[in-house]
Structure 1
């Protein structure tokens, strides 16, 4: 059995805001290598197969390359620690317990792209994480490493901590940029993409906290080492936030490609007593559901996508038989409706309408036309917003109708 805490979270690097302790236990090795061979960093990340851990799974080297190729001038690296979706709790743990690993990763990205601004963007609702990160950033600014970085860049390097809005929508990358600029977290249409036009028009990288936390290990130990940590064709490890109807919920670091069966029934110790596995919301509640027939799926980006779902952030919210899927979906869609920024009318009104119909069905007041309305909304709404919020809401509703339509039917009046 693969035990948790293999690489990112192993006990000897949980040093909190103590930079000296981080460096004494092997920290800084990846950054030192990046400074020695800056042009080799992006190819090494490519060979490692590192992908974005915030949801989309986009290849990290492809996100960085345009920023590295951009002319000299202001460039930004942003660590996105907003994390506000139900069932996801990995980033706050990293920021609280190993912030220097995350900061070193962000500084490696700055070296690789010649970025002179590094921003740690943290959800203020996670007060301890914000406090630890502020202290950790202050220690880096005072360390000799910082002057070495500035000498490499040929000018000042800013390392700042910016509290997010604390809103769910504030984690979308263009909303992150808007907040860093001092505005409201309204998502923007793409293109242009942040790599071309980000903070104050400058090339910008927005990476998830977990993505950056992998970089010191990859640079310090090599791409082949990182690839060898995964199972099958998958590379590296992944943090899985396991919650719901399991005996041992928690945060597990396991090889990328670990099966859903192993995560739930070995690491999570199986279902609550007397319960049977029914389904799981993967990557948080904005993706399609996986059911009993999917327990064999390897939890990596490509394998989960082949099951018409997404790994997302690695959040796994387990639901047992006897728990109403309709109620769970109604709760999650209400969360999305409350989280909509209101900038796009189809999103604001669409999520509200989805939530209203779902709650009507859940409380036994639904009629046949309500099911038709849900199906129509799921067809009409995707793609109508500036970000993926409305798409996620429609996706989970459509998936629940497909797999558990009988539960909706049983709740209808008459």
Structure 2
């Protein structure tokens, strides 16, 4: 794992489940400052411009503020560590190597919103992450800072670990809530939003593991420190999961706003020998592909959106010339088809039909009508599901056709 040791992955922060070691290295200082003035926490988070690192880049303070404003009673902070999308492997690193940073961030969120339940929601397929999270949570039991939070909120604070379903769809925030309630992770329509009606109807924050891991540093060093870590108008750092046809794949913590070219050719050491850069699946396989024309793009939420793509989780799956885009897209749509919960027939049926058509095209059995049918599905399916799964599948298919139509047409039978 490669890092600039700036914020999340500092070598001296990698203490696993050892809470004493975490405090010996400066852990707890962010929470201590938060306890001095709990009412100022959300304003500090807003000034830092902390975004949600799980995909959407939604400002964290806008999730927290309505929960803080809700009347006292049961409120939840959920640390979302379901992480199951291909090419994304950042949250498991944080849970395994610096879980107390995540927990401290969640406790600060609970303090800011007067929440009395904190839940670490962890993918059970990541057995090491789950075991470390459980041990780390156990060590906070009875700690003086937890007692101080309880005094502020006027209620006992529960801190626990809930294994997720292990399903891809289980990471969507309303599906997370359904799982924490003990049910199947069926996504729900919004509104109401979790901040209004979450776990058992209580106001709920669902934040990604990486998002919460940034919080202690912001409270410890201040919003301006965090903003200064980024490049251009971007704030903070980002964990980029780099994989695919590069010489040095891995997890890189870099300033938010680092260019795609810098990530791939400097930190990733460039392409495999004899290979040329062709494209990259950004934020996992559910976004618009970026090509050679986009190597100069700054990898932050706003800049990538201007290229009609999304930064997503920060996953960058690099593809070289000579690799079939159709084959890659067929594999990813198969993943989406298998991951669909089946609650929305257009999603379940639509992903299956796209998978079937892509496999026909990839194996040279496709005809022009198959490509036309694929394009028709891309026009009618968006917005037909309760979550973003079908939209993500359509986005990657539509983008691949737009960017690499000649590859599709070359596979068609006469």
TM bracket, shorter-chain basis: over 0.9
Shift of 1:151: 1.6
Describe how 1:9-20 pairs up with structure 2 within 5 A. Answer: 9-20=9-20
Shift of 1:145: 2.0
Mapped to 1, the partners of 2:184 and 2:319 lie a distance apart of 35
The answer as to whether partners of 1:85 and 1:284 remain within 8 angstroms in 2 is: yes
The answer as to whether partners of 2:3 and 2:9 remain within 8 angstroms in 1 is: no
Mapped to 1, the partners of 2:129 and 2:42 lie a distance apart of 29
Shift of the 197–3 alpha-carbon distance from structure 1 to 2, 3 Å rule, reads closer
Mapped to 2, the partners of 1:284 and 1:141 lie a distance apart of 36
SS of the residue aligned with 1:141? coil
Mapped to 2, the partners of 1:259 and 1:310 lie a distance apart of 14
Mapped to 2, the partners of 1:43 and 1:216 lie a distance apart of 14
Describe how 1:231-250 pairs up with structure 2 within 5 A. Answer: 231-250=231-250
Shift of 1:110: 0.1
Q: Give the match for residue 165 of structure 2.
A: 165
Q: Give the match for residue 375 of structure 2.
A: 375
Per mean C-alpha deviation after superposition, the further-off stretch among 245-254 and 369-378 is 369-378
TM-score w.r.t. structure 2 length?
0.99
Mapped to 1, the partners of 2:142 and 2:41 lie a distance apart of 25
SS of the residue aligned with 2:141? helix
Shift of 1:3: 5.6
Q: Give the match for residue 135 of structure 2.
A: 135
The answer as to whether partners of 2:3 and 2:251 remain within 8 angstroms in 1 is: no
Q: Give the match for residue 43 of structure 1.
A: 43
Shift of 1:5: 3.2
Mapped to 2, the partners of 1:160 and 1:100 lie a distance apart of 13
SS of the residue aligned with 2:7? coil
Describe how 1:95-110 pairs up with structure 2 within 5 A. Answer: 95-110=95-110
Residues 291-319 of structure 1: CA deviation (Å, up to 9, x unaligned): 00000000000000000000000000000
Describe how 1:142-153 pairs up with structure 2 within 5 A. Answer: 142-153=142-153
Q: Give the match for residue 404 of structure 2.
A: 404
Q: Give the match for residue 174 of structure 2.
A: 174
The answer as to whether partners of 1:5 and 1:252 remain within 8 angstroms in 2 is: no
SS of the residue aligned with 1:150? helix
SS of the residue aligned with 2:238? strand
Mapped to 2, the partners of 1:269 and 1:341 lie a distance apart of 39
Mapped to 2, the partners of 1:405 and 1:195 lie a distance apart of 42
In structure 2, runs of 5+ residues without a counterpart are none
Mapped to 1, the partners of 2:4 and 2:13 lie a distance apart of 14
Shift of 1:4: 3.1
Per mean C-alpha deviation after superposition, the further-off stretch among 239-248 and 2-11 is 2-11
Q: Give the match for residue 277 of structure 2.
A: 277
Shift of 1:154: 1.2
Per mean C-alpha deviation after superposition, the further-off stretch among 9-18 and 139-148 is 139-148
Describe how 1:53-68 pairs up with structure 2 within 5 A. Answer: 53-68=53-68
SS of the residue aligned with 1:207? strand
SS of the residue aligned with 2:166? coil
In structure 1, runs of 5+ residues without a counterpart are none
Shift of the 90–3 alpha-carbon distance from structure 1 to 2, 3 Å rule, reads closer
Q: Give the match for residue 326 of structure 2.
A: 326
Q: Give the match for residue 214 of structure 1.
A: 214
The total of aligned residue pairs comes to: 413
Is 1:156 the counterpart of 2:147 in the alignment?
no
Mapped to 2, the partners of 1:225 and 1:103 lie a distance apart of 21
Describe how 1:256-271 pairs up with structure 2 within 5 A. Answer: 256-271=256-271
SS of the residue aligned with 1:197? coil
Mapped to 2, the partners of 1:323 and 1:47 lie a distance apart of 44
Shift of 1:216: 0.3
Residues 35-59 of structure 1: CA deviation (Å, up to 9, x unaligned): 1111100000010000000000000
